[in-house]
C-alpha cells in the first residue's frame, strides 16, 4: 500500500507544482509590468532633474545677465537718441559696461558684444567688443532681428585659434517697436559640456545635449557636426520624427544593432533637448534582482507547503484503503469478526462499512 500512497502524493504534488508555477508566472508578469512603469517614472525624473539642474541654471544666468546688459544699454539713450548715435558718442561707457558684465557669467564669458544698426540700411555701424575678438560672423544674429524672437541662442561655432567651441546668447535692443541693435554674450561650450558630463545616469550611462534641430552641443561620442537624425546612416531618425518631435519629453525603448537601447529626453525652455542613455542592464537590474529573490523565496515556500499538503492528503486517502486491505487479509485467514471503523460518507467509507 506504500505504492498507492506514493503515487497519490506524487500526483497531488505534481498538480500543486503546476498551479504554483502558474501563479508565480502571473506574479512575475505583474511585477515586470509595475517595474516597467517605475523605470519609466525614474528615467523621466532623471531627465527632468538633468534638464532643470545645472544646465538650465546656467542658461537662466546667462539670459538674466544679457537682459540686464540690454537694459543698461537702453538706459543711456535719450528720447531722440538712437543706439548708433549713443555708441558713437560714448564708446568708452559701453566698453566699460561690457567689461563688467562679462565677469557676471559663471566661469566668465569668452566675449560680449554690442552692435548698433545704422539708421538707413540697418547694417551694423558701431561694434564694441569686450574679451576676445573672434571676428564672429554676425549675419546669423542680424538675420533674426525681424523675427518675433527678442532673444535667442546661436549655433555652436568652431574657431581654429581656440581650443574650444563657442555659442552665443543674443538679445535685441529695441526702442519702441524698432530694433536698434543687439547685445551678445559668447560662451565656451566647455562650460556647458562640463555640466552635461556631471549628470549621473545610473552607473555607466551618459547624458547629452542637442539644439532644437538635434545637432549635438555636447555628446561623449559624437561631434558638433553630427545630428541625432543623421548619425549611423539615419538609423535613429525615427526617434526624432516619431517621438521627440511629437512630445515635450519621454522615454523610448528601441532595438538597434542587435541590442535593446533606452533613450530619455526632454525639450528645455530655450529650445535645447537634453537626452540620456542609460544601460538597459543597469535600468532593470533592480527588477531582475527582485524577480530572482521572489522566485527563490516563493518557490521554496510553495514547494514545502505543497509537499506537506500532498503527504497529508495522500495519507488521508491511503489510510482507509490500508484498513480494508488488512481486514481482507484477516478474513482470508478465517477471522470473520473483523470490524473496520468507518469515517466519512465517501465511496471508500461505504466500502469500509460493508
User: 45-79: per-residue pLDDT in tens?
Assistant: 777 776 667 888 888 888 888 888 888 888 888 77
Instruction: Specify which of 24-28, 142-146, 304-308 reaches the highest per-range mean pLDDT.
Output: 304-308
What is the percent of the chain where pLDDT is above 70?
60
Compute and round to an integer the Cα radius of gyration of the chain.
39
CATH number reported for the structural domain that contains residue 260 in this entry: 3.30.450.20
Mean pLDDT of 12-29: 63
From CA 215, how far away is CA 337, in angstroms rounded?
100
Angle of CA points 210, 57, 111, to nearest 5°: 75
The reply to whether 180 falls in a domain is yes
pLDDT-based confidence at residue 91 (cuts at 50, 70, 90): confident
DSSP helix/strand/coil, 257: coil
8 Å CB contact between 228 and 214: yes
pLDDT-based confidence at residue 214 (cuts at 50, 70, 90): very high
What integer pLDDT is reported at residue 246 of this predicted model? Answer: 93
> Which of 243-278 are b and which e, b meaning 16 or more Cβ less than 10 Å from the residue's Cβ?
bbeeeebbbbeeeeeeeebbbbbbbbebebbbbbbb
DSSP helix/strand/coil, 110: coil
User: Which one of 169, 191, 213 terminates a domain?
Assistant: 191
216/270 same-domain check: yes
Mean pLDDT of 170-174: 86
Place of cell 549675419: 139
8 Å CB contact between 84 and 181: yes
The phi, psi pair for 270, rounded to 5°, reads -90, 10
Cβ burial of 216 (10 Å; 0-12, 13-18, 19+) is buried
Q: Check residues 69 and 33 and name the one with the higher pLDDT.
A: 69
142/177 same-domain check: yes
- E-strand stretches of 18-122: 111-117
Nearest 10 degrees: CA dihedral of 288, 289, 293, 294? -40
The model's pTM is 0.68
| pLDDT(126) > 90 | no
The reply to whether 12 falls in a domain is yes
C-alpha cell at 125: 555701424
Determine the distance from the C-alpha atom of residue 126 to the mean position of all C-alpha atoms in its chain, rounded to a whole number.
46
Tell me the pLDDT tens digit for each residue of 224-270.
778 999 988 888 999 999 999 999 888 888 887 777 888 888 888 88
Number of structural domains the chain divides into: 3
Q: Check residues 335 and 230 and name the one with the higher pLDDT.
A: 230
| pLDDT(34) > 50 | no
82/185 same-domain check: yes
Q: Check residues 245 and 9 and name the one with the higher pLDDT.
A: 245
What integer pLDDT is reported at residue 288 of this predicted model? Answer: 56
Q: Check residues 161 and 89 and name the one with the higher pLDDT.
A: 89
8 Å CB contact between 318 and 239: no
275/306 same-domain check: no
User: Which one of 191, 213, 237 terminates a domain?
Assistant: 191
Angle of CA points 131, 133, 136, to nearest 5°: 125
- Residue 110: partners with Cβ closer than 8 Å, 6 or more residues away: 131, 132, 134, 162, 166, 186, 187, 188
Domain holding 343, by residue range, is: 2-27+290-353
Mean pLDDT of 164-181: 83
Mean pLDDT of 332-353: 61
The reply to whether 41 falls in a domain is no
69 closest CA partner among 187, 186, 182 = 182
pLDDT-based confidence at residue 308 (cuts at 50, 70, 90): low
269/206 same-domain check: yes
What integer pLDDT is reported at residue 249 of this predicted model? Answer: 87
User: Which one of 128, 158, 191 terminates a domain?
Assistant: 191
What integer pLDDT is reported at residue 74 of this predicted model? Answer: 83
322/262 same-domain check: no
The reply to whether 143 falls in a domain is yes
The reply to whether 46 falls in a domain is no
C-alpha cell at 165: 567651441
pLDDT-based confidence at residue 35 (cuts at 50, 70, 90): very low
| pLDDT(22) > 70 | no
Cβ burial of 228 (10 Å; 0-12, 13-18, 19+) is buried
The reply to whether 230 falls in a domain is yes
From CA 222, how far away is CA 245, in angstroms rounded?
21
Amino acid at each position: 500500500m506504500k505504492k498507492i500512497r506514493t503515487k497519490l502524493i506524487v500526483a497531488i504534488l505534481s498538480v500543486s507544482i503546476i498551479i504554483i508555477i502558474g501563479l508565480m508566472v502571473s506574479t512575475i508578469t505583474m511585477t515586470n509590468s509595475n517595474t516597467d512603469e517605475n523605470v519609466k517614472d525614474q528615467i523621466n525624473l532623471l531627465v527632468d532633474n538633468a534638464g532643470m539642474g545645472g544646465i538650465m541654471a546656467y542658461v537662466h544666468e546667462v539670459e538674466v545677465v544679457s537682459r540686464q546688459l540690454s537694459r543698461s544699454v537702453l538706459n543711456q539713450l535719450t528720447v531722440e537718441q538712437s543706439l548708433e548715435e549713443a555708441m558713437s558718442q560714448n564708446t568708452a561707457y559701453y566698453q566699460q559696461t561690457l567689461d563688467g558684465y562679462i565677469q557676471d557669467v559663471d566661469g566668465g564669458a569668452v566675449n560680449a558684444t554690442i552692435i548698433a544698426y545704422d539708421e538707413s540700411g540697418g547694417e551694423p555701424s558701431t561694434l564694441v567688443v569686450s574679451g576676445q575678438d573672434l571676428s564672429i560672423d554676425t549675419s546669423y544674429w542680424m538675420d533674426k532681428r525681424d523675427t518675433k524672437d527678442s532673444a535667442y541662442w546661436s549655433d555652436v561655432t568652431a574657431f581654429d585659434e581656440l581650443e574650444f567651441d563657442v555659442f552665443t546668447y543674443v538679445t535685441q535692443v529695441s526702442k519702441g517697436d524698432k530694433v536698434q541693435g543687439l547685445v551678445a554674450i559668447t560662451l565656451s561650450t566647455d562650460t556647458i559640456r562640463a555640466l552635461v558630463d556631471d549628470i549621473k545616469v545610473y552607473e555607466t550611462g551618459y547624458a547629452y545635449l542637442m539644439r532644437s534641430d538635434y545637432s549635438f552641443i555636447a555628446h561623449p561620442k559624437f561631434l558638433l557636426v553630427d545630428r541625432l537624425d543623421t548619425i549611423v546612416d539615419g538609423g535613429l531618425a525615427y526617434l526624432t520624427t516619431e517621438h521627440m518631435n511629437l512630445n515635450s519629453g519621454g522615454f523610448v525603448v528601441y532595438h538597434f544593432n542587435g541590442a535593446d537601447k533606452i533613450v530619455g529626453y526632454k525639450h528645455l525652455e530655450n529650445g535645447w533637448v537634453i537626452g540620456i542613455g542609460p544601460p538597459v542592464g543597469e535600468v532593470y537590474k533592480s527588477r531582475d534582482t527582485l524577480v530572482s529573490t521572489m522566485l527563490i523565496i516563493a518557490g521554496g515556500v510553495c514547494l514545502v507547503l505543497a509537499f506537506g499538503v500532498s503527504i497529508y492528503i495522500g495519507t488521508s486517502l491511503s489510510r482507509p484503503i490500508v484498513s480494508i486491505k488488512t481486514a481482507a487479509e484477516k478474513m482470508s485467514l478465517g477471522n470473520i469478526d473483523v470490524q473496520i471503523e468507518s469515517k466519512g460518507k465517501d465511496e471508500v467509507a461505504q466500502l469500509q462499512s460493508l
